[in-house]
Amino acid sequence: MALRWLALAGLALAALGLAVVLGPAHVSLADLWTSEIVRNLRVPRALLGFVVGGSLAVAGAGLQALVRNPLADPFLLGLSGGAGLGAVGAIALHVGGPWALPLAAFAGALAAMALVFRLGLVGGAELDPRVLLLSGVAVGAFAGAVTTAIVSLSEAAQLRNAFLWLWGGLSGASWDTLLVLCIYVPVPLLVLFAAARPLDLLALGEEPARYLGADVTHVKRRVYLAASLLTAAAVAVSGVIGFVGLMVPHLCRGVWGHQHRLLLPASFLGGGVLLVLADTAARVAVAPHELPVGIVTALIGVPLFAVLLRRWATT
């Protein structure tokens, strides 16, 4: 058990190290500590990627237990649509300033979250995960349609910006964004970690979970809101990065089992590692150009996921 955690911690350090050393601009190892590029671009970007990846993975693990569907992804609940609409709206309205885009995306994601939450409250009181999932898909599709309408009516240069933004990227990383995220993220993370045991019970179904002592009504709300807040923050600083929240919890379940007390922290580290590596690849693969990191996670994620699915289906 201890060995697995050591291995994961080692992996995390290695990924962060790689992200700092590698990049389109050549920085020799000797200059690593003095280089402006390293200090102001690569280090904050690597750390930001780690926090975003970890947040997405923890949100995914929590939501999978909540909606009782191992194929749930944090972006399945309409947040990506809302965030995209907010960001594209801000671009179309020419709202300026360095924080305009992330704030607009964050606001869009929160609006989508509130709408999906309200739709998912059956009878105004009890959150029904099935309805939640369907409302998420519906709200996401609607927001996506409006987004596409705006994009189709705007000019070509703007369109490219908006499109790239939707596929995610950490190029906006700075010490400021990292600081904001590090103040914001611990609260929803702790809420999810504290729900670890009730989430174990929820995997049996809501009724058995109640009989075993879980306060199901509150646990469902807390998990949904905390996971959504994590996802909204992630999307605000880095756009829509798919597959991390879906894949990492699955990989971690293979190693740590499905006890959320272990699974959630392992997912955080695993998600961080995956996104940092994917972002490094996105920066280096086609330098001096940069791929949207969401494309890299999809390119790695989809084949890997297909292999895993096949293996599980046969055992």
Partner 1 sequence: MGHDLILALREVSARYPAAPRDALAGVSLAVRNGEFVAVIGPNGSGKTTLLRVALGLLPPAAGTVEILGRPAGAWARRELARVVGVVAQREDNLFPQRVRETVLLGRYPHLSLWGAERPEDHAAVARALERCDAAALADRWIWTLSGGEYQRVRLARALAQEPRLLVLDEPTASLDVRHEMELFELVRGLVNRHALAAIMITHHVNLAARFADRVLLLDAGRAAAHGPAVEVLTRETVERVFAWPVAIEPFQGAPQMIPLRRPQP
**Among 18, 100, 203, 225, which residue interacts with partner 1 (rule: CB under 8 A)?**
203
Q: Is the peptide bond before 74 cis (omega within 30 degrees of 0)?
A: no
Is 194 a residue that touches partner 1 (CB under 8 A)? yes
CB of residue 109 to partner 1, shortest distance in Å? 27
Is 221 a residue that touches partner 1 (CB under 8 A)? no
Stretch that binds partner 1, among 38-46, 63-71, 94-102, 226-234 (CB under 8 A): 63-71
What DSSP state is assigned to residue 126?
E
Return the H-helix or E-strand segment holding 71. Answer: none
Stretch that binds partner 1, among 49-57, 104-112, 196-204, 271-279 (CB under 8 A): 196-204
Is 232 a residue that touches partner 1 (CB under 8 A)? no
Is 116 a residue that touches partner 1 (CB under 8 A)? no
Angle, CA of 28, 283 and 189, to the nearest 5°: 105
**Among 100, 146, 197, 299, which residue interacts with partner 1 (rule: CB under 8 A)?**
197
**Among 10, 24, 186, 208, which residue interacts with partner 1 (rule: CB under 8 A)?**
208
**Among 6, 145, 182, 204, which residue interacts with partner 1 (rule: CB under 8 A)?**
204
Name the residue among 85, 58, 35, 107 with its Cα closest to residue 272: 58
Distance of CA 124 to the CA centre of its chain: 29
**Which residues lie across from 126 on neighbouring strands?**
122
Per-residue CA distances from 296 to 68, 226, 292 (Å): 28, 26, 7
Q: Which is nearer to partner 1, 24 or 205 (CB)?
A: 205
**Among 104, 177, 200, 244, which residue interacts with partner 1 (rule: CB under 8 A)?**
200
Per-residue CA distances from 217 to 17, 59, 214, 223, 261 (Å): 43, 18, 9, 10, 20
Is residue 108 a contact partner of residue 228, using CB atoms and an 8 Å limit?
no
Is 9 a residue that touches partner 1 (CB under 8 A)? no
CB of residue 266 to partner 1, shortest distance in Å? 15
Q: Which is nearer to partner 1, 72 or 151 (CB)?
A: 72
Is 211 a residue that touches partner 1 (CB under 8 A)? yes
Stretch that binds partner 1, among 97-105, 157-165, 193-201, 277-285 (CB under 8 A): 193-201
CB of residue 194 to partner 1, shortest distance in Å? 6
Is 70 a residue that touches partner 1 (CB under 8 A)? yes
Is 308 a residue that touches partner 1 (CB under 8 A)? no
Name the residue among 184, 203, 176 with its Cα closest to residue 109: 184
Q: Count of CB atoms within 10 A of residue 65's CB?
A: 28
Residues 6+ apart with CB under 8 A from 69: 129, 133
Name the residue among 236, 237, 234 with its Cα closest to residue 248: 234
Residue with tokens 């990292």: 178
**Among 146, 259, 284, 295, which residue interacts with partner 1 (rule: CB under 8 A)?**
259
Is residue 90 a contact partner of residue 208, using CB atoms and an 8 Å limit?
no
Count of chain residues binding partner 1 (CB under 8 A): 25
Is 214 a residue that touches partner 1 (CB under 8 A)? yes
CB of residue 124 to partner 1, shortest distance in Å? 12
Contacts with partner 1, residue ranges (CB under 8 A) = 65, 68, 70, 123, 194, 197-198, 200-201, 203-205, 207-208, 210-216, 253, 258-259, 261
